[in-house]
Structure 1
Amino acid sequence: MTLTDIKFSEFIKDFEQTLKNLFHEKEDINKLSLERGLPPSVMHEILSKKPLSVAIPENFGGRGSKVKECLGLLAAASYESLSLSLTFGINIALFLEPISKYAEEGVKKEIFDRFLEEQNMGGLMITEPDYGSDALSMKTQNEESGDGYRIKGTKHWQGLTGLADYWLIASRKAIGNGELGRDIDFFICDTTRKGQKVIVDEYYDNAGLYMIPYGLNQLDIQVPANFKLQPETTGIKMMLDILHRSRMQFPGMGMGFIKRMMDEAIQHCKNRMVGVGNLLAMDSVQFQISRIQSAFTICSAMCAKSSSISGIEFNLALEGLEANTMKAVVTDLMQESAQLLVQLSGANGYRTSHIGGRGIMDSRPFQIFEGSNEMLYAQMAEMITRSMKKEKKNHLFDFLRELKLTAESCLHFKNDLSFTIDNTLSQRKLVDLGKIIGRVICVGYVLELEVKGFRKDLVDNCIVLVKQEVAALISSFKFDNAVKVVDEYLDNSSWLKFV
């Protein structure tokens, strides 16, 4: 029997049961989550279920790289452990899918075989100490050497540092006189081969996601020529395709996590008695849990949308608006859901052994890595304002009414969105506008999911809560605020002098 002979519903149910047994019977997930790394025996048992087969093509023995299955796996993992889900997310979106799409045919079989049979793992190296989000300025370089390429440079904050068997490494071509080409090249590194060892200079003391090692990596490796990825056009567009596809898989990691926050909140508030009733009977508690439930609804809609548009058969290089929306909005919702659970849980929530307290720290970096949310929101606003300027339109609602992504959803916000936009917006206003646009787009996803049969009460509640949030964001956007930091603030700023 091959993996594809097993129905996904059976595959994922078996995987969920394995995690439940491992994390709640054999081991204690609360203790494991506070240790650096995951015990090899635990990871071995998890990988024995071949979870990463969801991202391997059928002709190489996998389940077929179906987005629905990839997101389903990420959701199942994140319900128990956000760290484990991110480990799978790194392997799927930042290694296996790029290999499937861009690697030479001759190198794929060995890689996929080792993932399926030897429990190998892989990651992606882009970020450098001096060039975080400014990836196009990276200094890691490659040059032809013998029958391959020599790659030299420094990378850091790579998830699975010191643990991955394979890496995809981004670099720029050395063109002489110390200059580097403008395009980006990607190379496969097999750390088990001679001349391809990555040196870990330092392991970072990351404040959350304890199971995943991060650190500082030194590169001076030699890889064969066929280890270079082959872009469809340019390397920069290949990088955008990879990153946008990854951002569209964030909802999978968010799905299980937000559902866990919701389930924990409902259970706690049902059981916690205050006076003659339970917490769930209180109006403010209803409001707080409804916000987590709204996040659950939005994330569900994102997963459904991503399943239809983000497969490796699509080129997502130009799909920044939807990719940024999914990544930024869902990670904001993850952090808010964890904060709400901790607030509802009282003092017990403020413990690292509590799923909520730990969830705050584990979900926080999701708002930062793969592009900080503020940067992504600003980019989204710039995409919209550039299109408006190109079409010589300045009325936001009128423009969104004609944009396919927002044509239906913007009707729910007509009064709030009926204003004109100036040609020049400050960066802080771009961030506000991006947040507004992202939430209007997400309501569009929710409406699409409702048509498919998703329960209407959750949809209706979600739209009301998003309308309230958008109204607050628009108030912020319209408020005249250009305050600057007073950096030389010490003179006449000590209250002790005035008492």
Structure 2
Amino acid sequence: MTLTDIKFSEFLKDFEKTLKYLFHEKEDINKLSLNRGLPPELLNQILAERPLSVAIPEEYGGRGSIVKECLGILAAASYESLPLSLTFGINIALFLEPVSKYADDSVKQGIFSRFLENQNMGGLMITEPDYGSDALNMKTMHQEEADGYRIKGTKHWQGLTGLADFWIIAARKTLDNGELGRDIDFFISDNSINEQKVVVEELYDNAGLYMIPYGLNKLDLKVPASYRLHPETTGIKMMLDILHRSRMQFPGMGMGFIKRMLDEAMAHCTNRIVGNGNLMAIDQVQYSISRMQSAYTICSAMCAKSSEISGITHNLATEGMEANTMKAVVTDLMQECSQLLVQLSGANGYRISHIGGRGIMDSRPFQIFEGSNEMLYAQIAEMITRSMKKQKQLNLFDFLKELSLTSEACLHFKDDLSFTISQALSQRKLVDLGKILARIICVSYVLDLGKKGFRNDLVQNCIDTVRHEVAALMCSFKFENNVQVIEGYTEQSSWLKFV
């Protein structure tokens, strides 16, 4: 019997049961979350269920790299533990899928077998100490040798530092003049082989996501020629394809997390009695939980959309608009939902052992890594304004009405969007505009999901919630604010002198 003979619903149910047993009966997830890393035997028991098989092609013994299944596993994990879900997300989107799509056929079987049979894991190395989001200027270099490639450099903030068995490493070619080439190449390294072993120089004291080790990695590796990934065109486009696919899988990690925040909030507010009624009878509580339900609806719609468009058969290098939207909006929603749960929970929420308090710290870096949200929102706005300029269309609503991605959704925001953009926007205005556009795109996902039968009351409440948010963002966008940093601000600014 192969893995694909098991219906996904059964596979997922068994996995959820395993997590519930391991985290709530055998161990206490609230106590585990206070420690660095997961106990190896516990991690092995989780991986023994072969959750990562969802990202391995069927011909290599996996379940077939079906996006719906990948997102389902991520959601199941994040309902219990966001760090565990991110561990899976790193393995799936940043290692297994790139290997499936771009690696030499001669190395795939060996790698995938170790994932299925030996609970191996893998990650991706791009970020460097001096080059975070500026990946195109990375200094890690590679040089071709007789029987492979020599790779030298320094990487940091890689999730699973010191824990992953395999890495995909980004590097630039050393040219004859000593300079580095403009394109980026990717190589697999196997940490079980001495000359491919990554040296961990430091483990970081990350403030959240305690289960996942991060750190500083020194590279001086020699990898065989067959371990180089093969792009369809250029290495930069391969990197964009990988990163955009990863961003489109963020809704999977967000789905279980947001549902958990919502379930905890509803249970607490239903059972907590204040005066003659429970918290749920309070208007402000209704407003807060309705926002969490809106987040649940948006994330559900993103998962459905991602399942349709982000498989490895698609090249996502040019799909920055939707990739940025999914990543930025869902991570904002994750942080908001954890903040709301803590607020509703009172003092008890402000504990690391509380799912809400822990959720604030665990979800916060999601707004930063793989492109900070401000940068992604600005890019969304730049894509739209650039297209408007090219088409010589100045009215935002008229443009969005003709754009397939927003043609239906924008009708709900006509009053807010009926204005012209006739001049270049400052970066802070681009961020505001990007937030607005991203939320309108999300409404288009929600409308699509509603047509498939998703419950209508959640859809309508979500649209009203987003309309409220867009109206507030429009006030920010239209407000003239050119405030600059004041140098030497401490002169004549001590209040003690004026009392």
- Give the Cα–Cα distance (whole angstroms) in 1 for the partners of residues 449 and 479 of structure 2: 34
Give secondary structure in 2 for the equivalent of 1:482.
coil
- Give the Cα–Cα distance (whole angstroms) in 1 for the partners of residues 176 and 18 of structure 2: 54
- Give the Cα–Cα distance (whole angstroms) in 2 for the partners of residues 411 and 393 of structure 1: 18
**Alignment match, 2:125:** 125
**Alignment match, 1:11:** 11
Q: Deviations over 1:62-104 (max 9, x none)?
A: 0000000000000000000000000000000000000000001
Give secondary structure in 2 for the equivalent of 1:4.
helix
Map 1:218-229 → 2, pairs under 5 A: 218-229=218-229
- Give the Cα–Cα distance (whole angstroms) in 1 for the partners of residues 36 and 490 of structure 2: 42
Moved more, 189-198 or 122-131: 189-198
**Alignment match, 1:350:** 350
Moved more, 419-428 or 360-369: 419-428
Q: Deviations over 1:200-248 (max 9, x none)?
A: 0000000000000000000000000010000000000000000000000
| Structure 2 residue 142 is matched with structure 1 residue 142 | yes
- Give the Cα–Cα distance (whole angstroms) in 2 for the partners of residues 282 and 30 of structure 1: 29
- Give the Cα–Cα distance (whole angstroms) in 2 for the partners of residues 395 and 189 of structure 1: 51
| Structure 2 residue 311 is matched with structure 1 residue 311 | yes
- Give the Cα–Cα distance (whole angstroms) in 2 for the partners of residues 232 and 272 of structure 1: 57
- Give the Cα–Cα distance (whole angstroms) in 2 for the partners of residues 198 and 147 of structure 1: 20
| Structure 2 residue 71 is matched with structure 1 residue 71 | yes
**Alignment match, 2:257:** 257
Deviation at 1:145, TM superposition (A): 1.3
| Structure 2 residue 82 is matched with structure 1 residue 82 | yes
- Give the Cα–Cα distance (whole angstroms) in 1 for the partners of residues 295 and 53 of structure 2: 29
**Alignment match, 1:324:** 324
Moved more, 413-422 or 69-78: 413-422
Q: Deviations over 1:407-465 (max 9, x none)?
A: 00000000000001133100000000000000000000000000000000000000000
Map 1:44-63 → 2, pairs under 5 A: 44-63=44-63
- Give the Cα–Cα distance (whole angstroms) in 2 for the partners of residues 394 and 169 of structure 1: 43
- Give the Cα–Cα distance (whole angstroms) in 1 for the partners of residues 242 and 101 of structure 2: 10
Map 1:91-490 → 2, pairs under 5 A: 91-490=91-490
Give secondary structure in 2 for the equivalent of 1:446.
helix
Give secondary structure in 1 for the equivalent of 2:490.
coil
- Give the Cα–Cα distance (whole angstroms) in 2 for the partners of residues 422 and 166 of structure 1: 50
Give secondary structure in 1 for the equivalent of 2:174.
strand
| Matching residue's letter, 1:459 | V
- Give the Cα–Cα distance (whole angstroms) in 1 for the partners of residues 334 and 145 of structure 2: 46
- Give the Cα–Cα distance (whole angstroms) in 2 for the partners of residues 253 and 364 of structure 1: 13
- Give the Cα–Cα distance (whole angstroms) in 2 for the partners of residues 341 and 48 of structure 1: 33
Task: Provide TM-score, normalisation by structure 2.
Answer: 1.00
- Give the Cα–Cα distance (whole angstroms) in 2 for the partners of residues 485 and 24 of structure 1: 50
Q: Deviations over 1:100-139 (max 9, x none)?
A: 0000100000000000000000000000000000000000
- Give the Cα–Cα distance (whole angstroms) in 1 for the partners of residues 81 and 487 of structure 2: 42
- Give the Cα–Cα distance (whole angstroms) in 2 for the partners of residues 419 and 204 of structure 1: 48
Give secondary structure in 2 for the equivalent of 1:179.
coil
- Give the Cα–Cα distance (whole angstroms) in 2 for the partners of residues 311 and 402 of structure 1: 27
Deviation at 1:388, TM superposition (A): 0.3
Q: Deviations over 1:456-481 (max 9, x none)?
A: 00000000000000000010000000
| Matching residue's letter, 1:298 | I
| Matching residue's letter, 1:236 | I
- Give the Cα–Cα distance (whole angstroms) in 2 for the partners of residues 92 and 428 of structure 1: 34
- Give the Cα–Cα distance (whole angstroms) in 2 for the partners of residues 4 and 349 of structure 1: 42
- Give the Cα–Cα distance (whole angstroms) in 2 for the partners of residues 487 and 57 of structure 1: 57
- Give the Cα–Cα distance (whole angstroms) in 2 for the partners of residues 413 and 231 of structure 1: 41
- Give the Cα–Cα distance (whole angstroms) in 2 for the partners of residues 70 and 210 of structure 1: 23
- Give the Cα–Cα distance (whole angstroms) in 2 for the partners of residues 68 and 445 of structure 1: 16
- Give the Cα–Cα distance (whole angstroms) in 1 for the partners of residues 314 and 176 of structure 2: 36
- Give the Cα–Cα distance (whole angstroms) in 2 for the partners of residues 146 and 280 of structure 1: 70
Structure 2 runs not aligned, ≥5 long? none
| Matching residue's letter, 1:267 | A
Task: Provide TM-score, normalisation by structure 1.
Answer: 1.00
| Matching residue's letter, 2:459 | V
| Matching residue's letter, 2:326 | M
- Give the Cα–Cα distance (whole angstroms) in 2 for the partners of residues 485 and 291 of structure 1: 34
Deviation at 1:193, TM superposition (A): 1.2
- Give the Cα–Cα distance (whole angstroms) in 1 for the partners of residues 292 and 493 of structure 2: 41
- Give the Cα–Cα distance (whole angstroms) in 1 for the partners of residues 218 and 422 of structure 2: 47
Q: Deviations over 1:263-295 (max 9, x none)?
A: 000000000000000000000000000000000
Moved more, 326-335 or 487-496: 487-496
- Give the Cα–Cα distance (whole angstroms) in 2 for the partners of residues 118 and 491 of structure 1: 63
- Give the Cα–Cα distance (whole angstroms) in 2 for the partners of residues 404 and 108 of structure 1: 38
- Give the Cα–Cα distance (whole angstroms) in 2 for the partners of residues 194 and 358 of structure 1: 38
Structure 1 runs not aligned, ≥5 long? none
Question: Runs (4+) of structure 1 moved beyond 4 Å?
Answer: none
Give secondary structure in 2 for the equivalent of 1:231.
coil
- Give the Cα–Cα distance (whole angstroms) in 1 for the partners of residues 354 and 178 of structure 2: 52
- Give the Cα–Cα distance (whole angstroms) in 2 for the partners of residues 332 and 422 of structure 1: 29
- Give the Cα–Cα distance (whole angstroms) in 1 for the partners of residues 19 and 43 of structure 2: 10
Deviation at 1:178, TM superposition (A): 2.6
Give secondary structure in 1 for the equivalent of 2:370.
coil
| Matching residue's letter, 2:185 | D
